[in-house]
Structure 1
Amino acid sequence: MGFISILSFAHKLIEERVQPGETVVDGTAGGGVDTAFLARLVGPSGIVHAFDIQQQALDRTASRLEQECPGRDVRLHLRSHEAMLDAIPEENHGRIGAVMFNLGYLPGADHETVTEPASTLTALEASARLIRRGGIITMVLYTGHSGGLEEAAEVERWAAALPQKHFQTLQYRFMNQINHPPYLIAVEKR
């Protein structure tokens, strides 16, 4: 038996904090794994907002949702996660249960289309405003691509600078794996 995987640990942290009927966000829809997880978690009365800049990613996500959790209220946004404050209705600001990010590129797609530090930091600032007390932001950082280490360093700086009075942050990573293994940073609002 080994340690829990990075993505499974992110899911576990969210499961402990999000209730059915809540509104949640997937900031990087990708293949739809996290979007479907969130849709199952919040149930038929909850809402999921999922963002991606690639139509291919949203198509994959829609297909996964049809198979795994049809009938759930999932709103797919073909736009950058940096626009989430504009896309999510104002009455939900400060009431979001969780925001998830997988930072890097869409597996099986163009590896030149990657998340960028500037838009990611804007999205993280928005997420910190969107989540409720006890809400969580998870960021799985993939660093093996061009620019990945730089983006991860910016995300770490952002998370470390959050005021302790209002947020707590953690990092979960495997230390002896080769080839730039992903790792997790999680932020909980106090």
Structure 2
Amino acid sequence: MEEYISPGDLVIDATAGNGNDTLALAKLAGKGGKVLAFDIQQEALKKTESLLKEEGFFDVCRLILDSHHNMGNYLAEEEKGGVSAIVFNLGYLPRANKELTTKVQTTLPAVEKSLEFIKPNGIVVLIVYSGHEEGMHEKEALLSFASQLSEKKYHTAYLSYPNQKKNPPELLLITKK
């Protein structure tokens, strides 16, 4: 991520979860940067807030109780097309209700919009967990979507661990040329 995010940049954590990605993004964007962190669970945002305050990066972040599907509603017009990185850590909140998970119906449109929001040489990072039914649907839809992107406008990369058991996370990266 250091290759894509500079101090002062605008970045988005589309799925705040426990706050680890939000914190990493805040550290890279620095005190002059801005991080928007989304989650649909108040519990996730409370954990994220606690971690950010503990680490001294709360003032850099805006925590938003809403779906990543609506992230465009929170960007000023001049910010659209100027985001350095957007991170999606899909699935469910660790040690929480596993029935409450990201869904392809909102994730795919959010990823599509993300490509409009990132600047040239920006990146969308998708951490995909396919070890549950909805995760498998997300993975299939996202890989299909990524494979159809214009090679003149985007680079895509997909990383998996074929020798690992228990469905480890897989990584889909999309960069705008």
TM-score, L = length of structure 1: 0.91
- Show the counterpart of 1:102: 89
Q: Residue 173 of structure 1: CA displacement?
A: 1.6
Residue pair 1:49, 1:77 contacting (<8 A) in 2 also: yes
Residue 148 of structure 1 is matched in structure 2 by: 135
SS in 1 for 2:175: strand
Deviation at 1:71, TM superposition (A): 4.9
What's the counterpart of residue 85 of structure 1? 72
- Count, aligned residues: 177
In structure 2, the partner of 1:126 is 113
Residues 74-101 of structure 1, C-alpha deviation per residue, up to 9 Å, x if partnerless?
0111000000111111110000000000
Unpaired segments of 5 or more residues in structure 1? 1-13
Counterpart residue identity of residue 144, structure 2: R
2:146 equivalent among 155, 159, 171: 159
Map 1:60-71; keep pairs closer than 5 Å: 60-71=47-58
TM-score, normalized by length of structure 2? 0.97
Secondary structure at 1:113's aligned position in 2?
coil
Match of 2:155 in 1: 168
Q: What secondary structure sits across from 1:106 in the alignment?
A: coil
State whether residues 23 and 57 of structure 2, in contact with CA within 8 Å, keep that contact through their aligned partners in structure 1. Answer: no
Sequence identity (%): 41
Number of the residue aligned with 1:11: none
> Could you tell me how far 1:70 is from its partner in structure 2?
3.3
Greater than 6 Å deviation, 4+ residue runs? none
CA RMSD of aligned residues (A): 0.9
Partner deviation per Cα, 1:98-145 (whole Å, 9 max, x = no partner): 000011000011000000001001110111000000000000001112
